[in-house]
Amino acid sequence: MESFAAYLQSLPKSPLTEAVAALYEAADGLRKPSAEELAEFVSAASETEHRMRGDWDSNREAIVNEDKEFIEQVSNGTFQAVTDGNGIVIYGEADGRMYVYLLFVRPECRRAGTAQRLMEYVKTQAKGMPVALSVNNHNTAARTLYKKLGMVDSKKFGYDGYDIIEMQSPTIR
């Protein structure tokens, strides 16, 4: 029995078969995270961010409570999440866009295509809507990836003393 991927490749090329192949490729190996994985990823991402800011030790309890609220929003379906075990993306529709609320890859798994794969998956879920996210201006590795994926700077603002850039993909029609 041939694989679904092989079957797709055997079909005549058309916009439909190419769209189905892109969805299949983006979703291959991705799954909804378990409650434990979700908590682990959100906690690790939050600790990484707050250690960078220098407020992890002084605000740990408040940060942990914020993380619990965020996890609850994923658990109750307000936001969606997928993982491949090495990273996670949490996203949801907001203001006519597909907004990425969290993209985190385990440090030992970075620069191996995980973030790109997760973002490509979100693009398939956007169904023509632009994809948007906010990133620290100094996170050059992330900004480089997002630009490679076709995202452009759409807005700059300050948050907690940091220069943040909102990036957005063009609407796909």
- Residues 34-48 have pLDDT tens digits of 999 999 999 999 988
32 neighbors 24 (Cβ within 8 angstroms): no
Beta-bridged to residue 158, according to DSSP, are 163
Instruction: Please report, for the domain that includes residue 29, its CATH number.
Output: 3.40.630.30
Does residue 159 belong to any structural domain of this protein?
Answer: yes
Does residue 41 belong to any structural domain of this protein?
Answer: yes
Does residue 30 belong to any structural domain of this protein?
Answer: yes
- Residues 58-103 have pLDDT tens digits of 888 888 889 999 999 998 988 999 999 999 999 999 999 999 999 9
Could you tell me the residue range of the domain that residue 103 belongs to? 14-168
Number of domains making up the chain: 1
Does residue 55 belong to any structural domain of this protein?
Answer: yes
Does residue 100 belong to any structural domain of this protein?
Answer: yes
Q: Is 116 exposed, middle or buried (0-12, 13-18, 19+ CB in 10 A)?
A: middle
Does residue 7 belong to any structural domain of this protein?
Answer: no
